[in-house]
Chains A and B, each alone.
Chain A
Amino acid sequence: MTTRSQAIDVSGETRARRSLYWQYMVEPFLYLSPAIVLIGTVMLIPLIVGISYSFQAIELLNPFNTGWVGLENYQQLWSDRKFWIALENTFWWTFWSISFQFLLGLGLAMLLNTQFYGKKLFQALVFLPWAVPTFLSALTWAWLFNPVIGPLPHWMVALGILSEPYNIMGDPEIAMWGPIVANIWFGVPFFAITLLAALQSIPSELYEAAEIDGASAWQTFTKITLPFLAPMIAITVMLRTIWIANFADLIYVMTGGGPANSTQIVSSYIFTTAFRKLDFGYASAIAVALLFILLIYAVILLWLRKKLVKI
């Protein structure tokens, strides 16, 4: 009697375990499979194909010399002076663009978080650059910097920044500031919008409590506002950094990477390599390098965010 019931128990148990395994480990993925297949085809496969290009020689001008070349593209990249210049340019381009976009955006957001007459109109104007097509704003800024038709060089002379009115985008030393200024103008609204949203989510009673506790405006800003904005700042700065580092439109239209590669950033270099020199293998290698640099940056920033943010 007992043995029989035990036997039944055992077999029942294993059957149950097997069906549990089926139910929890396999079945869910069957339901998910359409999504997995979709994501795989639209995201992973292009990525893999792109990375695999970087290990091949694919030059449209040299169609008979294709095939796997191992790390050759990367070796070439390591000793490519233009790449290192572009990398340095990318750093400064991204750094100055982000810094000014962020600071001006934060200032605007704080301003828009107060009440004043004509706020609605001002708000609409602030957000306008975001809606202008990149190509159009690049052309407009190129003209503004042109001393023949634009006022900016003359103003800069008046302010003592330039000795005579010339086009700063013709001077390799400072040419990068042309696209950077255009990019700042273009990107401030993004920070203003996102930071304004974050500011508005801070409960007003915290400011009241801080005021009662005797905090000055600056102390309130550093001890209440900034900690609350920190998660939003980390995420927006990260997204924008990646975006700006990849954002070659303005540069391409305004300077085309010149003069003498002084405004060439990595992504515009990828673009020229792929579509001017038609060397897709090498372009892919540069792209993979950029991808890794940005990945490392993102990991560091996410880690910092986790360390700093308590809410």
Chain B
Amino acid sequence: MARIELRNVVKRYGAVEVLRDINLDVEDGEFIVLVGPSGCGKSTLLRMIAGLEPITAGDFMIDDIRMNDVRPRDRDIAMVFQSYALYPHMDVARNMGFSMEIRKDPATERASRVKQAADTLGLTALTERLPKALSGGQRQRVAMGRAIIRDPRAFLFDEPLSNLDAALRVEMRLEIARLHQKLGATMIYVTHDQVEALTLADRIVVLNGGDIQQVGSPLDLYERPANKFVAQFIGSPTMNLVPIKGRPEGVTLADGALLKLPHLPDSPDAIELGIRPEHIEVTDQGDLSGIADVVEHLGSDTNIYLNVEKLGPLMVRKHGNIPIRPGERVGLRIQPENVHLFAPDGSALRRASPNMAA
């Protein structure tokens, strides 16, 4: 169990600043998910917490003790590497039990823990194989097994499920959630998968270009993104952005139509409006209309890609199967309570009340 704190943490490789002024408090037993585009420094941050990468500046603390210069093996943190890092000369069982082998735990206890972990991860039949005889997904699970066999203060996962097929991914996701519930250990988890992030996280940390963009609960990030980047990064399909003119009582769209937004008092400063595809209604009495360009039927949902005159492309997602054909004219209504407004610098504008959006 551990509380992890990062205070003004900076990482530089020579002149390249990879992470800037990172501040983050991770509560004991919390599940934190790090998301961000490729190359934004997620792995680097994780490696600094593990102790594999020196921290250039700032303080890193576990349970209020400064840990910047403590060696990895004294931090008592388990990590699942993005590249697995399995020992190629050891079979699966020995790979998983390596930390216990190092601690010289009794062989019988080690064997039973390995067996238990292998059962959990569906690796029972493979314990005698060498890593080179495993598929990517199996290797990934061995790497997971190596971490969960220990009883560390905190777990670090670097995209642990990226190589699994969809079904296995769901299964492992549930397994990780169960593990977190059972152990109550602090976990920091890197992923590119929105669903994983939104379902597993107590809080999500959005990184971009070496800065923390926003920290918050999944719902927070979805409903109240702090800026345009978070708004577009969180949620799938991506939020639509439309250029607008801010007015005291709302905004005017490019075609001149006025959209009243009483809950957004800062609207005069806005230059862009964000609306999620699921927050646009298909209706005949809408304030807009567009020509359907492509229609995707997903079974449970329908994605409609539209072209709206003067506004540009818009995407709409509707639940269920909507009988719209490409080329048809579709009337649209933007739900005013779900509109986000962005200032020229990309930051989101203040809302009148935090509960308006619900």
Contact across chains for B73 and A212 when beta carbons are under 8 A apart: yes
Most chain A beta-carbon neighbours within 10 Å: one of B71, B78, B85, B146: B85
Task: Point out the residue from B50, B73, B89 that lies within 8 Å of A214, measured CB to CB.
Answer: B73
The chain A residue sitting closest to B47, CB to CB, is A208
Q: Is B87 an interface residue (CB 8 A)?
A: yes
Given contacts A213-B146, A215-B73, contact A208 B85 (CB under 8 A): yes
Cα A100 to Cα B83 with chains together (Å): 38
Docked Cα-Cα span, A270 to B98, in Å, equals 53
A19 CA / B83 CA spacing, docked (Å): 51
Within B73-132, which residues are at the interface with A (CB < 8 Å)?
73, 77-79, 81, 83, 85-89, 98-99, 101-103, 130
A53 and B101 CA atoms in complex are apart in Å by: 58
Residues of A close to B89: CB separation below 8 A: 227-228, 310-311
A251 CB to nearest chain B CB (Å)? 39
Q: A212 CA to B85 CA in the complex, in Å?
A: 11
CA–CA, A228 and B90, complex, Å: 11
Please tell me if A160 contacts chain B, counting CB pairs below 8 Å.
no
* B72 CB–A CB distance under 8 Å: yes
In the bound complex, CA of A219 to CA of B102 (Å): 7
Flag A187-210 by CB within 8 Å of B: 1 or 0 each: 000000000000000010110111
Give the distance in Å from the alpha carbon of A227 to the alpha carbon of B146 in the complex. Answer: 20
Q: Which of A212, A219, A311 contacts B79 (CB 8 A)?
A: A212
Known: A211-B72, A214-B103. A203 touches B85 (CB 8 A): yes
| Chain A hits for B72, CB < 8 A | 208, 211-212
Q: Is B357 in contact with chain A by the CB < 8 A criterion?
A: no
A210: B residues at CB distance < 8 A: 87, 98, 102
Closest to A213 in B: B99
Minimum C-beta distance from A229 to chain B (A): 11
The CA of A199 and the CA of B73, in the complex, are separated in Å by: 22
Q: Mark B137-155, 1 if CB is under 8 A from A, else 0.
A: 0000000001000100000
| Number of A residues, CB within 8 Å of B | 19
Chain B stretch 39-96: residues in CB contact (< 8 A) with chain A:
50-52, 71-73, 77-79, 81, 83, 85-89
With A205-B81, A310-B89 known as contacts, the answer to whether A212 contacts B102 (CB < 8 A) is: no
**Is the interface on chain B under 10, 10 to 19, 20 to 34, or 35 or more residues?**
20 to 34
CA distance A145 to B282 in the complex (A): 99
Residues of chain A contacted by B101 (CB below 8 angstroms): 223
Q: Is the CB of A214 within 8 A of B99?
A: yes
Which of chain B's residues have a CB closer than 8 A to the CB of A228? 89
Bound-state CA distance A216–B73 (Å) is 8
The answer to whether B88 and A213 touch across the interface, beta carbons within 8 angstroms, is: no
| A215 and B87 alpha carbons, distance in the complex (Å) | 13
Q: Cβ of B102 and Cβ of A209 under 8 Å apart? A: no
Bound complex: CA A12 to CA B89 (Å): 53
* Cα–Cα distance between A311 and B81 once the two chains are bound (Å): 21
Give A215 to B88 CA distance when docked, in angstroms.
17
- 25 A-B contact pairs sorted by A residue (CB < 8 Å): A203-B85, A205-B83, A206-B85, A206-B87, A209-B79, A209-B81, A209-B87, A211-B51, A211-B71, A212-B50, A212-B73, A212-B77, A213-B73, A213-B102, A213-B146, A214-B103, A215-B98, A216-B73, A216-B102, A219-B102, A223-B98, A223-B102, A228-B89, A310-B89, A311-B89
Taking Cβ atoms with an 8 Å cutoff, the residues of A that contact B are 203, 205-206, 208-216, 219, 223-224, 227-228, 310-311
Q: Which 6 A-B pairs have the closest CB atoms?
A: A209-B85, A213-B99, A205-B85, A214-B73, A227-B89, A211-B72
Binding site for A on B (CB under 8 A): 50-52, 71-73, 77-79, 81, 83, 85-89, 98-99, 101-103, 130, 146, 150
With A213-B98, A219-B102, A223-B87 known, 19 other A-B pairs at CB within 8 A are: A203-B85, A205-B83, A206-B85, A206-B87, A208-B72, A209-B81, A210-B98, A211-B52, A212-B50, A212-B77, A213-B73, A213-B146, A216-B73, A216-B102, A227-B89, A228-B89, A310-B89, A310-B130, A311-B89
